Every structure is written in C-alpha cells, then in structure tokens.
Amino acid sequence: MQAEVDDLINLLDLEPIEKDIFRGVSPQEDRQRVFGGQVAGQALVAATRTVQGRAVHSLQAYFIRPGDVAAPLVYLVERVRDGRSFTTRRVTAIQRGQPIFAMSASFHKQEDGFEHQTDLPAGIPDPDELEPFVRDGLAVDHQGRIARPIELRYVTGSPAQRGQNREPRLQVWLRATGTLPADPVLHTCMFTYASDITVLDTATKALPLEGFDIDFQAASLDHAMWFHRPLRMDDWIFLDQVSHSASNARGLAWGTAWNRTGELVASVVQEGLIRPLAKQS
C-alpha cells in the first residue's frame, strides 16, 4: 500500500502561499467533513515550516467548525515567541474566511536532562501475532471506512465491541502501511494525523451500543499531544488508551504511546462530543 502512504505524504506537504501562510487540500474521499487528524497534521506541518533547529514537544488544539472536503484549507502561522530554548507558534486553519481549527505548538531545542518513563504494559502481544483490523475483507478505520495509509492491529478487540459493562479502554498497534523518508518532522506529523483515528473510540466503549451502527453524534472537540522522544511511523507504535470520564455529551480519553523497543514516545489527550441521537417515532 505504498501508493496510499505516498498520497498521505503529499497530503502533509503544504503549498507555501506567502510568508507564514500555507495551503492544504483534502483527499477525494467519501466524507461528510474533513478528518480531524488531517487538519491537525497539516497545521503542525505549517508551524514546523517556520521553525529552525527545534522539534515540537507539545501542541494543544481546538476543532472549531467542521471542515469542508471540497474547499482548500489555508493555514495562518503566528510567530508568538522565539526564545533561547523554546519557540511558540499559533496556527489557525481557515475555510471561506472562517476559522475551523486553532492550534498552539511549542518547540524545544535538544537538551540533556534527567530521564524516566512508564514501561510498556507487560504481556502485550507482538503486532505480528495480531490480525489487521478488517471489515468486509478490507482494512478499515474506527468507523468502518477503508483506511489504507495507517494499519491498525487491536489488542483489545474491535472498537465496535461496545457495552455498558465494558472497560473504556483500547489498546492498538499502528503504523504506516509503507516506507517513509527519514525526515523526523514527517513522522511526527503523520503520528499526529493517526492519533485522531482511535482515541475518541475509547470514550465510547462503555456505551450500551454494539457494532458499527452508531446511534450517537461523535466529533473531536479538542486535542493535545506531548512528544517525549523521536518516533517512527514506518515501524509499530503501541497506543494504550483509557477514558476516565464521559458526561454532559462529552467524553475524555488519554493515550500513551510506546515504540516497539519499549521507549515511551508520546502522550495524547482528546475530548470529543458524544451526543445521543433523538429517536424517531
């Protein structure tokens, strides 16, 4: 599936329009709105294009309006601060003159310091022991759509296996389905893209529903990430996700990511809308 991965690489390669202004497009897919991970990944690309010699270590983002897949996305980057150790950027994604997404990202120069980490959970099956997540013979994403650039192998079973007595937890191995250039920025931005695929599903695991027939409205509201160590998306990353709360038509989920050698590489937190749909009489 190298062609699909190459398409994702191209999707994350923004067109510079003017200083600190970039344009992105959406793939020609059957979606009602732009995939949130695409906007987050493209926004991080835009921010990174204005920074030299420093790597992103955190981002916080808000999904403001649904994105239109038929319209280009314009990314405006604000250079908030260039300090001796840290750099801050603010990015706004615009469609038809209105903001649909806003992100703040912080970059840090490489420094030596103290280290510790939480270990990879014991007893996790190797990804080679698991089957790709498939439906109707095709690899699919969390809502049953074909998802070729990113392969998912669930440890805890399908995210469609819901029920009020289930633990709101999802464990999954993920990776790009083809080879990638060595560019560390691309790997970080592609993980940002992929991080929006599964996290919110964790908050829906305990719902009294089954299967892909979603009887609720779901949408990403906000998204935060921390990058602890370099990562590669052309090798397996294990994402352990748990939801501590769902209330007031919102659910919160936390994910912790390790690479295959056991290094903790990133953390992600997302709150999403989980609104029950009105029953039709």
Where do we find the tokens 């439906």?
135
Catalytic residue among 95, 106, 220, 241: 220
Do residues 93 and 26 lie in contact, with contact meaning Cβ atoms separated by under 8 Å?
Answer: no
Is 38 noted as a catalytic residue in this protein? no
Which of helix, strand or coil describes residue 33?
coil
Do residues 89 and 75 lie in contact, with contact meaning Cβ atoms separated by under 8 Å?
Answer: no
Is 98 noted as a catalytic residue in this protein? no
What is the residue type of 279?
K
DSSP 68-134: PTTS-EEEEEEEEEE-SSEEEEEEEEEETTEEEEEEEEEEE---------PPPPTTPPPGGGS---E
Tokens of 163: 């029920």
Catalytic residue among 38, 42, 141, 196: 196
What is the residue type of 219?
A
Is 247 noted as a catalytic residue in this protein? no
For residue 176, give every residue at least 6 positions away whose Cβ sits within 8 Å of its Cβ, in sequence order, or none. Answer: 5, 8, 149, 150, 151, 190, 233, 234
What is the residue type of 54?
R
| Residues with a known catalytic role | 196, 220, 270
